[in-house]
């Protein structure tokens, strides 16, 4: 394969740097040894050559960037969990904003959008309150490798709270199991120095259930409110930064409105929106999360909870809502759900996204349907990784 010397010019989605050779873009992963930082000159080996573009891997760094630093984890570059440990944190924040800008422009056709500077996480390390692991053939728990296939047995993980790794090293799954396993720790346990732990199976491919250990529910506290989360349910992995995310959403919803909260989870946004709203209707399709949602909003009389798939529930709702908050999975809003939301025609839609590409795709559809993208605010919930949470506010013309 050809070898070239190239300059890493910009960052793209999924931890990929963009360089150019004779006008063609060359896409280069930066999170594998010897790693790459935007602004560096590197020697690369072409791995795939297409007519309009190419893919390459770094084989040597010729000129280092001052934003380069030593990775903290011994597994970095082999484990697929982190992508930017070798990059100064301020540069990571700039990367994430740049990706949001680029995806909105390229996929969404939305240029000159007001995109705020990425809000940093309060903690750069040891921020994950739960982790998802998978077993090898002997039942040892570990992460998926950077190749997306291999199993990496972990001795450390500096982005996870330390008790989680101690438990992961001690735990075993049944031999031959292919289920992913979630281990979490609630913040009350962390404060006591004796964490309450949960182990629960997720997306099992085999018929046998994974045994569970420890508590089946954990509790997180955000801005003075407690949130019960049942094993297998969703809560932000960076619980300490969840308050910043809530603040961004709240600032984009005026008081006194009737609010629809879609993909409501255990009620992180509903609980705070209800404090100022005329009323909040929260929709959640995962039964254990819906039970937690009822529990977490029990003290808020101006809330209504509907359990069911968003696309089905929207079919039966009346167009009475002034604003909608949507926090869909990484794949974005399903087309039928988006179509039915548009029929309800809320004046304002606040879209919380964990994937800039699907945000840009759905933003394009919203603008085509008559909404204007007012602004987008990146929030760093996942330091050391390429993942970024973005809150985008849309207003109906």
| Catalytic site positions | 354
Task: Give the DSSP letter of residue 277.
Answer: S
Query: How many Cα neighbours within 13 Å face the side chain of 385?
Result: 24
Written as six digits, the tokens of 153 are 């047995």
Q: Residue count of the chain, please give it.
A: 397
Which sign, positive or negative, has the C-alpha torsion 180, 200, 389, 292? positive
Q: 3-state SS of the chain: helix, strand, coil percent to 5? A: 25, 35, 45
* Helix ranges (DSSP H) in the chain: 89-106, 162-170, 187-192, 242-251, 268-273, 287-296, 310-316, 335-344, 356-368
- 150 to each of 34, 143, 144, 173, how far by Cα in Å? 20, 9, 6, 17
Round to whole Å and give the CA distance between 44 and 250.
Answer: 46
Written as six digits, the tokens of 331 are 């794949």
Round to whole Å and give the CA distance between 352 and 210.
Answer: 32
Burial of 191 (0-12, 13-18, 19+ CB in 10 A): exposed
Round to whole Å and give the CA distance between 101 and 359.
Answer: 11
Pair 160, 126: CB distance under 8 Å:
yes
Closest CA to 197 of 166, 164, 228, 222: 164
Query: How many Cα neighbours within 13 Å face the side chain of 210?
Result: 30
Round to whole Å and give the CA distance between 84 and 64.
Answer: 15
Pair 186, 220: CB distance under 8 Å:
yes
Task: Give the DSSP letter of residue 145.
Answer: B
Q: Which residues touch 240 (CB under 8 Å, ≥6 apart)?
A: 121, 122, 123, 127
Closest CA to 25 of 111, 93, 106, 91: 106
């Amino acid at each position: 394969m050809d070898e070239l010397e190239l300059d890493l010019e910009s960052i793209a989605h999924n931890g990929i740097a963009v360089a150019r050779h004779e006008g063609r873009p060359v896409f280069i992963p930066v999170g594998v040894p010897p790693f790459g930082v935007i602004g560096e000159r590197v020697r690369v080996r072409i791995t795939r050559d297409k007519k309009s573009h190419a893919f390459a891997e770094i084989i040597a760094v010729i000129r280092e960037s001052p934003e380069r630093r030593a990775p903290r984890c011994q597994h970095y570059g082999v484990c697929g969990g982190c992508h930017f440990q070798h990059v100064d944190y301020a540069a990571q924040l700039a990367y994430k904003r740049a990706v949001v800008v680029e995806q909105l422009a390229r996929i969404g056709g939305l240029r000159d959008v007001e995109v705020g500077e990425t809000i940093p996480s309060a903690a750069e390390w040891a921020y994950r309150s739960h982790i998802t692991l998978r077993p090898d053939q002997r039942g040892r728990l570990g992460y998926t490798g950077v190749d997306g296939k291999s199993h990496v047995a972990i001795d450390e993980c500096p982005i996870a709270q330390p008790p989680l790794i101690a438990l992961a090293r001690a735990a075993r799954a049944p031999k031959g199991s292919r289920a992913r396993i979630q281990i979490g720790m609630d913040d009350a346990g962390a404060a006591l120095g004796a964490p309450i732990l949960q182990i629960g199976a997720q997306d099992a491919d085999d018929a046998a259930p994974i045994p569970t250990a420890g508590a089946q529910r954990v509790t997180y506290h955000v801005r003075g409110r407690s949130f019960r989360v049942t094993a297998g349910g969703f809560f932000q992995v960076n619980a300490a930064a969840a308050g910043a995310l809530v603040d961004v959403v709240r600032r984009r919803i005026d008081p006194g409105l009737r609010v629809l909260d879609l993909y409501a989870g255990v009620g992180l946004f509903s609980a705070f929106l209800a404090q100022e709203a005329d009323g909040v209707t929260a929709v959640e399709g995962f039964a254990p999360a819906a039970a937690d949602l009822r529990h977490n909003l029990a003290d808020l009389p101006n809330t209504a909870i509907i359990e069911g798939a968003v696309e089905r529930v929207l079919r039966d709702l009346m167009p009475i809502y002034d604003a909608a908050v949507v926090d869909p999975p990484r794949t974005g809003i399903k087309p039928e759900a988006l179509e039915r939301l548009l029929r309800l025609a809320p004046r304002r839609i606040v879209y919380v996204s964990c994937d800039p590409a699907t945000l840009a795709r759905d933003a394009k559809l919203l603008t085509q349907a008559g909404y204007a993208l007012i602004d987008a605010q990146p929030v760093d919930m996942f330091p050391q990784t390429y993942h970024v949470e973005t809150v985008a506010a849309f207003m109906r013309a």
